[in-house]
Amino acid sequence: MHELFEERARRTPAATALVHGDERLSYGELDARADRLAGLLRRHGVRPGALVGVYLERSAEMVVALLGTLKAGAGYAMLDPDFPAERLRGMAADAGVTLVVSRRGSQQPISAVESVTVEDAERAEPLRRGTVGVRPQDPACVMFTSGSTGRPKGIVASHAAITGTLTGQDFASFGPGAVWLQCSPVSWDAFAMELWGPLLNGGLCVLHPGQRPDPVVMAGLVETHAVTSLYLSASLFHVIVDEYPRALAGVRELIVGGEPLSPAHAARALERHPALRLSNGYGPVEGMVFLTVHPVTAEEVRDGSPVPIGRPLAGKRLRVLDERLRPVADGETGELYAAGAGVALGYCGRSELTAERFVADPYGPAGGRMYRTGDLVRRRADGVLEYLGRADAQVKIRGFRVEPGEVETVLAGHQGVVRAAVVARPDATGDQRLIAYVVPREGHRQQLQAAELRDHATRVLADYLVPAAFVLLDALPLTPNGKLDRAALPEPGPVNGSLASALARQPSDPVEEALCGLFSEVLGVASVGPEDDFFALGGNSLTVARLLGRIQLTLGARVGVRTLFEGRTPAALVPYVEKAGKAEAGRDEEPAVAPEGDALPLSHAQRRLWFLDQVDAGNAYTLPVLVRLRGKVDPEALRAALGDVAARQTALRTVFEERDGEPWQRVRAGAEALPRLRQVDVPSGELDKAVTAAARHRFDLAAELPLHAVLFGVRDRPGEHALLLVLHHIAGDGWSLPPLFRDLSRAYAARVSGAAPELAPLPVPYADFARRQQGRLGSADDPGSLAATQLAFWRKALAGLRTGGPLLPRRPGRPAVPGREAATVVRRLDAQAHALIVDGARAEGATLFMALHAALAAVLVRAGAGEDLAVGSPIAGRGNDGTVDDVVGFFVNMLVLRNDASGDPTARQLLARTRETALDAFAHQDVPFEDVVGALNPVRPPGRQPFTEVVLALQNNARAEVGLPGTESGVEPLRTGTARFELLVDVTDDHGPSGAPDGMALVFEYRTSCLEREFVEWLADAVVEALRAGAAEPDVPLSRLGLPEPPRRADAARDAVLAPAPLAGGPANSALHREIAAVWSDVLGVEHIGPDDDFFRLGGNSLRAVRVAARLTGAGRTVTAAQLFTSPTVAALAAELERAPAEAPAAPAPIPRRPRIPRQPGRGSRTDVPGTGRTDDPSQKEVPWT
């Protein structure tokens, strides 16, 4: 195997072999690193025939370890860090592991043998080629499957078994141009195909992060890396087809295996992705990945017939035999035996079992063996095999081969169990799950609980072996001859729903019945009773929003978030829903839709963006996205499709005009409403450079549409294209990308076929949403308006709060206007910790976001930020009723969440306070953040953002997909690496196919000019510890929570922001002073203004700053709103304007509408973070970038 790889590395050393996150290794680099590790292993005594344990998570280092082990002449045994320590020790002992490779600092559990780390190999002497001899039949790896005695079976595969299966075959594409996603668990044989298939044949392997495949992550990797090839277990494939169908967009070939393939799911996948090459693969681990592969067509699965497993792969000999090893006729049932390429050498240390399963081959060469699969099949006349079931007790769970006896043995080892039986039964979706039936030992009947049995099993078994349900019985049912009567075992109760719901009263009225149905629909629970608790059934912040939207759509009632937290059951929600429904019925009708072409008001979010464009005009608040395309692209059809999308999405054909500093939007029609598509042909080596330059497009919002499109062609690569769309954020946020690309894909598909697309009109176009928002909020001067009510809340909620946000131990000498260079610190929590935190929050009626907020507050207190602090948090701003889900537009708002950590509260008490703060804020989220700032009018030090220098965001990423007929595509957001805030804590939580917590990633992004890395590293560790400790010990005060000591604490005097040097101005009462004072007086309504008066302390805000700039510019002065933030007094502004002509940098070609701040050299484009609508480059002014 390694020699095949070395040959590839010699021929194409610069070609990319491996991708993991941001790390890319070429064939040459991977080869060199593996040589060094091989040299290290040889110096530690590793010799041909030995087995080396690899205790590493999925990573580039793991691949280096595997390849280095093979180069050293040994075989590898994957020791999955997710497996229990006891199971790993047993596996290592059975395999005869002589040495373990791990990562420095990891607690690898195999202490009985020598250990080296991948870091040790970095400076090791590489192994010279030709010094180690390896034969084709030498062991290459050991893979473990379930064993009936409770002891996993180690299956030894040779180099020849792997190369015979993965080279010289045509069931999949592994060579140059193929991009494989490696997402199977590292203990599977499919792992070998996903990794070695491309690496031995010149393809590219992309490693899935973490140990478990996640459909959302997979979809992102497929998009980002243009993955062409994929393997999925049948269970995971069924989940993806049901819940994440777009995850397969762009994949050229998909092989499904491990369990029988559902024909209905296959039909749906092929209908949605007609260009997909779908195959059904079959093969036990002993046969190395696949023995047979069957290409699946839409025609053969249309009627629901079982999907065949196909014909043998090249080099594999399959025989269908009866009990006496005689061939059976076509059409008759027999057991399948396998011989030839790919068949394993046997089981580690299990000679009797090897002799039982690997039997003499009477039809092959002398001395040949064949493997008895235990599977019953039937061969059709055309040679295609059909799978009929198992001949023994083995079952497949989530793609893993499982011996129920292994689970029974472990359960019987519990001190409270006298006997156990484990069977597999289908759940509601048709997937198999394990059910355990347990007879308690005498005296343990009352004490024995399912949770205790689950914990016992989890300590010993892999997660797929832990039963989904436990049923306690007085005795196991038996047949007349004394064997277990499996048919008589009772059905278990609900696994995911509430057992109490089956015993509860039935709904008493239509509203209660409807709410029970909505709970069931949103949570995926089969049955919900009137008294079932939403959060106890698995509700979280995401499902809260989903439920509220369903309630509004189904029952016509707008129910707030707090209402659901207070009335957590269908019965408790009924009065709230009935009251809200009556209020909706009496609500005034929405204003009539204004004709296109009229001047319309901006939404509040748009006003924020318009202001930012005026202040930082050269910085282009844009969202650039690149779509890489392979295949034939029709530019005219694409141009027409862009017009079709703009016709539906009014934000894409809107211009923004200014009247005396006040913005208005006008929706264009006709030829003026068509976005332009520019075509550019570039050499392949110049493509990235050309894209970067085009992504920096500057918009004149008054004169051009907010969508800029460029189609790049690659001269020396026919069929390769790149479509760049640059969207100004005033017209779209991260949630806008999915509907934008969905509309574009549909329109292009219609145009290339010569038809006009049928894009349904939006129920609420963006311009109408803006008008309705204005009407709904009303005037802040009207005491009864929603705006006035919510502003009154925020004045009270934020009164006396420190302006800039929590005081942090900032970098000494921090500049007054900090730079935006970013760095990040990343921390991850595993599924167990994730579940502990979610369960702890749920027990207090809180969400994961609230727990994160409380933990961050506890750590900031520890850092010296004080006991009264606040963080910002962005919200999508699209409501819950779904009316604007398909709208392209900018909706995002920012909330300020204040924490009271006084009195050294316990973790439970702090979470309760945080919960109340969050619920209050969510209930008052309609009023724009800039209006809140304007109402409070806090002191604004230069370069500081009021209240939001620390921001917490919990991501629920929306993913965009493009499907242009005749092409393969991948979407790539373009990034700059600039900091959005002084400190951003960006959290992504992952969920498994069942919806259970599956780990969290916490990214701490900070401005390097403000904070030191040592502090952020400490803060990241402390937040993780606060989350764990708060969930595990909720009644411990913060002072005793065990948080580490910070490197240094914040100090108000030391960490104060440096003030800018004063500017020397002219006479205090010069003509310029008087001119500025007169404009201020008119705009602010203040009669007397002196040279040292501060614009913002007199009542100025962002829009008034724009008006001042417009007035002074109209009088012949070159003024921007940004200058009022750095020079907020009359004297300072006059001095700035007097020196500006001599010091102003050269500006690019001016835009006639108004003078602008010149673009800073080398500034890159920005990208929206999916699901939040935030860019990578926030304003440093009063309005935070969200």
User: What is d(CA 59, CA 18) in angstroms, rounded to the nearest whole number?
Assistant: 10
Q: Are 421 and 484 in contact (CB under 8 A)?
A: yes
Please name the fold of domain 1-134.
Rossmann fold (3.40.50)
- CATH 3.40.50.980 maps onto the chain at 1-134
Does CATH place domain 403-478 in 3.30.300.30?
A: yes
H/E element holding 51? Answer: strand 51-54
Predicted local distance difference test score (pLDDT) of residue 1050 = 61
Three-state secondary-structure class, residue 1015: helix
User: What is d(CA 985, CA 44) in angstroms, rounded to the nearest whole number?
Assistant: 43
pLDDT in tens, 508-531: 888 898 899 898 887 776 778 888
Predicted local distance difference test score (pLDDT) of residue 382 = 93
Q: Are 146 and 153 in contact (CB under 8 A)?
A: yes
Residues 6+ positions from 38 with CB-CB distance below 8 Å: 68, 69, 71, 72, 126, 127, 132
pLDDT in tens, 1062-1078: 444 445 567 888 888 88
DSSP character for 251? -
Three-state secondary-structure class, residue 497: coil
Three-state secondary-structure class, residue 949: coil
- CATH 3.30.559.30 maps onto the chain at 803-818+832-876+896-942+1008-1040
Give the burial class of 428: count Cβ atoms within 10 A of its Cβ; 0-12 exposed, 13-18 middle, 19 or more buried: exposed
Strand order across the 983-991 sheet: 822-829, 997-1007, 983-991, 950-955, 868-875, 893-900
Q: In CATH, what is the architecture of 599-761?
A: 2-Layer Sandwich (3.30)
User: What is d(CA 1028, CA 1051) in angstroms, rounded to the nearest whole number?
Assistant: 28
Q: Are 30 and 65 in contact (CB under 8 A)?
A: no
The residue ranges of the chain whose pLDDT is under 50 are: 494-504, 586-594, 617-620, 976, 1052-1066, 1141-1186
Q: How is 694-730 classified by DSSP, letter by letter?
A: HHTPPP-TTTS-SEEEEEEEETTSTTEEEEEEEEEGG
Give the burial class of 82: count Cβ atoms within 10 A of its Cβ; 0-12 exposed, 13-18 middle, 19 or more buried: middle
Structure tokens belonging to residue 993: 């196919």
* Residues 1121, 1122, 1127, 1129, Cα dihedral to 10°: 30
Q: Are 386 and 308 in contact (CB under 8 A)?
A: yes
Q: Are 954 and 987 in contact (CB under 8 A)?
A: yes
Helices (H) and strands (E) in the chain, counts: 32, 40
Predicted local distance difference test score (pLDDT) of residue 444 = 74
Structure tokens belonging to residue 1128: 């907020």
User: What is d(CA 1038, CA 900) in angstroms, rounded to the nearest whole number?
Assistant: 13
Q: Are 385 and 377 in contact (CB under 8 A)?
A: yes
User: What is d(CA 460, CA 453) in angstroms, rounded to the nearest whole number?
Assistant: 11
Q: Which CATH class is domain 501-585?
A: mainly alpha
User: What is d(CA 396, CA 404) in angstroms, rounded to the nearest whole number?
Assistant: 10
Matching residue, tokens 């935070």: 1184
CATH code given to domain 803-818+832-876+896-942+1008-1040: 3.30.559.30
Strand order across the 432-440 sheet: 417-426, 432-440, 469-472
Q: Which of 673, 648, 676 is nearest to 736 (CA)?
A: 648
- CATH 3.30.300.30 maps onto the chain at 403-478
Predicted local distance difference test score (pLDDT) of residue 330 = 92
Predicted local distance difference test score (pLDDT) of residue 230 = 96
Q: How is 624-645 classified by DSSP, letter by letter?
A: EEEEEEEE---HHHHHHHHHHH
Q: In CATH, what is the architecture of 1071-1143?
A: Orthogonal Bundle (1.10)
Give the HSE-up count for residue 534: Cα atoms under 13 Å, Cβ half-sphere. 32
> CA dist 490 to 57, 144, 171, 438, 1039, Å?
40, 32, 43, 12, 52
Predicted local distance difference test score (pLDDT) of residue 291 = 96
- CATH 3.30.559.10 maps onto the chain at 599-761
> CA dist 163 to 52, 314, 535, 625, Å?
20, 12, 51, 40
Structure tokens belonging to residue 1114: 């109209």
Q: Which of 224, 172, 223, 227 is nearest to 200 (CA)?
A: 172
- CATH 1.10.1200.10 maps onto the chain at 501-585, 1071-1143
- Count of CB atoms within 10 A of residue 776's CB? 15
Strands 395-397 vs 400-402: parallel, antiparallel or unpaired: antiparallel
H/E element holding 991? Answer: strand 983-991
Q: Are 1081 and 1087 in contact (CB under 8 A)?
A: yes
